[in-house]
Amino acid sequence: MLDKLLDIEKKYDELTGLLSDPKVLAVPQDFQKYSKEHSDLQQIVEKIREYKKLLGDLDDTEELLGGGDGDMKELAQTELEELKKRRPIVENELKLMLLPVDPRDKKNVILEIRAGTGGEEAALFAASLLRMYTKYAESKRWKIEIISMNATGLGGLKEVVASIQGKGAYSRLKYESGVHRVQRVPATEASGRIHTSAATVAVLPEAEDVDIKVDAKDLRIDTFCSSGAGGQSVNTTYSAVRIVHVPTGLTVQCQDERSQTKNKDKAMKVLRSRLYEIEMEEKEKERAQQRKSQVGSGDRSERIRTYNYPQNRVTDHRTGLTLHKLEQVLEGAALEEVLDNLITYFNAERLKEL
């Protein structure tokens, strides 16, 4: 590992020199390219230098132990113990930094939530999940925008598709895909019996044209009158758009905007992201066959979390984490703790594979 770290530091020093080279400064494209590479390496190089200093301090302290007087030896022994405790921590941090970067981590998110088993209670829970992610996005100063929504008369959601735009959105939310289960007494339940219902969440990296090419001849685009809230244009103009990707049968529709062009753009954004996810899943399956295990697959059929109202409890079934702060999680405030735990867990699994 040390050889690889030294190679990274050498590359960083070379880039530092290039950024002050008049020939590079004269070509904006080259300067921009080298600046990005330099910036991408800065964090790990700082950690490498911290590690090298730690190794040097360990050598110096051990040398001091061999030749100092009584008081100095005692001080050196205390320092040596602290340095030895620090070493595996820094080494683990470096190993995590050396893990292959998921190219999707910097992408925005297409969030899809659908009510599952449980009728109206499942739809109400789907609405609660949307609120949770909305609150969390607001706390991160991300922008969240509804693309399409199918609401029920009692304030629930049969399904909703939203876009979340912000730095690190996919890297933070990518492990949220799966079945979310709720256990509570519905307001309509006279006997006080606890019901179990569920909603599915899909977190897709927002795909761009460079990620996935969609051939126009593979699309069937229909327009129709929008329904629901929308003012004077409702049921009078063909602003709603439905797009069918013929080769896969994927269907996306959007009617939230009054403009047909805007609805088409939003629908295409979702379609590209779904096609990109299918492509990435196929590649992941190929890799899984080679390595015999699949870490962080985001399987949407898997029950990943339970929200238990009577016990004020949230349990993530992948990591075993249980928090007795249901309300704070659903308000988005304690969701960060759940996500941190998931990221740590899946990074540890990736380290085991290496």
149 Rama sector, left if φ>0, alpha if ψ -120 to 50, beta otherwise: beta
pLDDT surpasses 50 at 298: no
Give the residue with greater pLDDT, 282 vs 87. Answer: 87
Average per-residue pLDDT in the chain?
Answer: 86
DSSP E strands: which ranges in the chain?
109-115, 143-151, 157-165, 178-184, 195-205, 219-224, 240-245, 250-254, 303-308, 313-316, 322-323
pLDDT surpasses 60 at 293: no
Least confident of 83-87, 99-103, 178-182, 216-220: 99-103
For residue 277, what pLDDT is reported? 83
Give the residue with greater pLDDT, 66 vs 35. Answer: 35
Confidence label for 144 from pLDDT (cuts 50, 70 and 90): very high
Q: What is the pLDDT of residues 176-208, one digit of tens each?
A: 999 999 999 986 676 778 999 999 999 998 887
For residue 292, what pLDDT is reported? 39
The length of the chain in residues reads: 354
CA atoms within 13 A on the CB side of 157: 21
Least confident of 31-40, 162-171, 200-209, 311-320: 200-209
Domains in the chain with CATH codes: 2-98 (1.20.58), 109-211+298-353 (3.30.70.1660), 216-280 (3.30.160.20)
Pairing relationship of beta strands 195-205 and 109-115 according to DSSP bridges: antiparallel
Pairing relationship of beta strands 219-224 and 240-245 according to DSSP bridges: antiparallel
For residue 319, what pLDDT is reported? 94
Rg of the chain over all Cα atoms, to the nearest angstrom = 26
Token pair, residue 196, equals: 């179990």
- 145 burial (CB, 10 Å; 0-12 / 13-18 / 19+) is exposed
326 φ, ψ (degrees, to nearest 5): -55, -50
Pairing relationship of beta strands 303-308 and 178-184 according to DSSP bridges: parallel
pLDDT surpasses 60 at 235: no
Question: Average of pLDDT values for 91-100?
Answer: 84
DSSP at 206: P
From CA 91, how far away is CA 97, in angstroms rounded?
Answer: 10
- What is the residue whose two structure tokens read 């205390």? 78
Choose the most confident range, by mean pLDDT, from 1-15, 64-78, 289-303: 1-15
pLDDT surpasses 90 at 50: yes
Report helix, strand or coil for 165: strand
- 279-283, Cβ contacts within 8 angstroms, sequence gap of 24 or more: 279/212, 280/104, 280/205
The whole-model pTM stands at 0.68
pLDDT surpasses 60 at 229: no
From CA 227, how far away is CA 114, in angstroms rounded?
Answer: 19
135 CB-near residues (< 8 Å, 6+ apart): 331, 332, 333
